[in-house]
Amino acid sequence: MTIDTDGPGRRGGRQARRWLRAAVLLLAAGSAPLLAAGVPADWPKGHYPLPEGSDLIGQDYTVEAGAEETLLDLAREHNLGYEEIRRANPDLSVWMPGEDTEVVIPAQRLLPPVPREGIVINLAELRLYYYPEVEEGEVPRVETYPIGIGREGFDTPLGKTETTMRIENPAWYPPESVRQEAAARGEQAPAVVPPGPDNPLGDYAILLGFDGYLIHGTNRPDGIGMRASRGCIRLFPEDIESLFARVPVGTPVHIINRPIKAGWHEGAPYVQAYRPLEAQENGMAQLLEALTLLSQSAAGESMALDYRQLRGVLDAADGQAVAIRPAPAPAPGVAEAESEAGGLYEHLGGQQAVLAAPEV
């Protein structure tokens, strides 16, 4: 017997979101060849030409699970981490989605709102972006990878730094916190863990200017896409191997924590929201932040956005990149009647969020 623990409001909201995602994927199916046409067939998953005049990369799609495949298997194969594939497929079993079950692969993303150079790590979306330098005549590109980051109490630091050293087959020297935890269990932590299958750093490590922090591999790949480290940035073994060979010492690294991203694509404003790492209200401040981000990425004539849709995207915080509709024409007196919007009308003038559209 299945016990329904959701109230009718939650059931309706979840069902509506599933129908919306299905509709988006059906619409995308017709346009996917056009969107993917600019990506060379031999490029790995998660590698894209750097878009000109756009902030959007990738396209959501679906795959069918094999008889023995888990969601974690599919996540790794399709350049996703744990949280991403769980969020996109909330009703599927992680370990037994079932043969021929349709699995959503959320591969559409807005680029982070920071300079597109070197390595950019957005903790809120558990993802790394790499903008490699290219030779004259080469196609500028962006590569993106799922990551694991510091768990609560071992936060990954924010700010700008650079890569300082690359080490193949690194040894791991357990920090004092590990030694203390081992002592509390009546155990003794080793002074050093040599390279090999028991080494949590994996086979490759890229040192950062932040003392004691690295971008490295892992011997526990199921933790990619989660807050599971002691502050370092973990990648799948194959991803760190690829980056290790190509990221030079001195590459700039910008670590941010932006649960809300906003940008433009083909003249339309987009917003993509994630659950914040720390508990915080998902209200007026976030709404204004999204509008500010859109305004910063735009210039030219102003346009009005649908406030209710924008608020819904922020409340869902499901990682979908959503095109925000123009605002409907307000009925007479609607600003006075819509008390639930509170002080938003003072800032934005009724239910219309006004911002500048990009020049074309």
Query: Which residues does the annotation mark as catalytic?
Result: 216, 232
Tokens of 31: 């346009």
Give yes or no for a contact between 272 and 119, defined as CB atoms under 8 angstroms apart: no
Distance (Å) of CA 106 to CA 4, 46, 57: 27, 11, 11
CA angle at residue 115 from 110 to 118, to 5 degrees? 100
Q: What is the DSSP letter of 269?
A: E
Q: Is 193 helix (H, G, I), strand (E, B) or coil?
A: strand
- HSE-CB at 119 with a 13 A cutoff on CA atoms is 29
Type and span of the H or E element at 62: strand 61-64
**Angle of helix 307-316 relative to helix 284-296, nearest 10 degrees?**
110
Do the Cβ atoms of 202 and 219 come closer than 8 Å? Answer: yes
The CA-to-CA distance between both ends of the chain, in Å, stands at 57
Q: Which of 303, 294, 297, 304 is nearest to 335 (CA)?
A: 304
What residues contact residue 221 under an 8 Å CB cut-off, 6+ apart?
Answer: 76, 236, 237
The answer to whether 255 and 156 have CB atoms below 8 angstroms apart is yes
Cβ within 8 Å of residue 242, ≥6 positions away: 44
Q: Give the C-alpha separation, 143 to 240, whole Å.
A: 12
Compute the chain's Rg from CA coordinates: 22
- How far is it, in rounded angstroms, from Cα 205 to Cα 240? 8
